[in-house]
Structure 1
Amino acid sequence: MGDASADSVTLNLLREARDTVKGSPLGVVQTPMIPWGQTSLPPLPVRCNIHIKLENMQKTGSFKIRGVANQFARRPKGGHFVTMSAGNYGKPFAYASQHYGSKGKVVMPETAPLSRSALIQ
């Protein structure tokens, strides 16, 4: 992947990424948005219209599966890839590596939660 700058992000590039994610075999779902008032969060001190996007409903628990789906669609199949993550990116990376038959290694800091490490393994 090449260098990116704000000037290189075009509407067509965003549309292409959206279409890639929609067509991904990784099972990325369109997650709902709910108004803040429908949550158990405390009321806000000011009146405003806030919605919460429920990306925790993704198969891997976060929005990062969207970026991973976009990246893996552009990588050679069966390649060898390494990433560094405390877990939030590592989970979808490991999931996609397994799905695409790629060799993936996630380098994690010693302080990463053991539960995330176990999920990635």
Structure 2
Amino acid sequence: MGDVTADSVTLSLLMEARDTVRGSPLGVVHTPMVCWCQTSLPPPPVPCNIHIKLENMQKTGSFKIRGVANQFARRPKGGHFVTMSAGNYGKAFAYASKHYGSKGKVVMPETAPLSRSVLIQHS
């Protein structure tokens, strides 16, 4: 895809990414958006209109699966892929690698909690 700058992001590029994610075999779901006032969260400190996108409902627990779905659709077939993450991107990357049967490795910092490592290994 090359270098992307703010000026190069167009509506058609965003729509293409949206369609790619929608058609992904990774099972990305359409998540709801709810008004803060419909939740059991305490009211915001100042009056405002806040909506919350419930990306925690994705199979991997975060919105990162959307970017991974887009990247995996554009990656060269075959080959080995490596990423560095101790968080949600690493979990989504591991999930996609397993789904596609790709050789993928998530490199994590030594300071990453063991629980994150286990979570990523079992994605």
For residues 110 and 30 of structure 1, what CA distance do their matches in structure 2 show? 35
Counterpart of 2:85, as a letter, is S
Give the secondary structure class of the aligned counterpart of 2:105: strand
Normalising by structure 1, we get a TM-score of 0.94
For residues 65 and 79 of structure 1, what CA distance do their matches in structure 2 show? 20
Residue by residue over 1:5-39, the C-alpha shift from the partner in whole angstroms, topping out at 9 and shown as x without a partner, is 01111111000000000000000001001111122
Question: 2:100 maps to what in 1?
Answer: 100
Q: What is the root-mean-square deviation of aligned Cα atoms in Å? A: 1.1
Regions of 4+ moved over 4 Å: none
Give the secondary structure class of the aligned counterpart of 1:25: coil
Question: 1:67 maps to what in 2?
Answer: 67
With 19-28 and 32-41 compared, the bigger mean Cα shift is at: 32-41
Question: 1:5 maps to what in 2?
Answer: 5
**Would the aligned equivalents of 1:78 and 1:100 in 2 still touch at CA under 8 Å?**
no
Give the secondary structure class of the aligned counterpart of 1:89: helix
- CA drift at 1:46: 2.0
Question: 1:45 maps to what in 2?
Answer: 45
**Would the aligned equivalents of 1:77 and 1:100 in 2 still touch at CA under 8 Å?**
no
Normalising by structure 2, we get a TM-score of 0.93
Give the secondary structure class of the aligned counterpart of 2:40: coil
Sequence identity (%): 88
Uncovered stretches (5+) of structure 2, i.e. residues with no partner:
none
For residues 88 and 4 of structure 2, what CA distance do their matches in structure 1 show? 22
Paired positions, count? 121
With 108-117 and 88-97 compared, the bigger mean Cα shift is at: 108-117
For residues 73 and 80 of structure 1, what CA distance do their matches in structure 2 show? 15
**Would the aligned equivalents of 1:56 and 1:62 in 2 still touch at CA under 8 Å?**
yes
Give the secondary structure class of the aligned counterpart of 1:62: coil
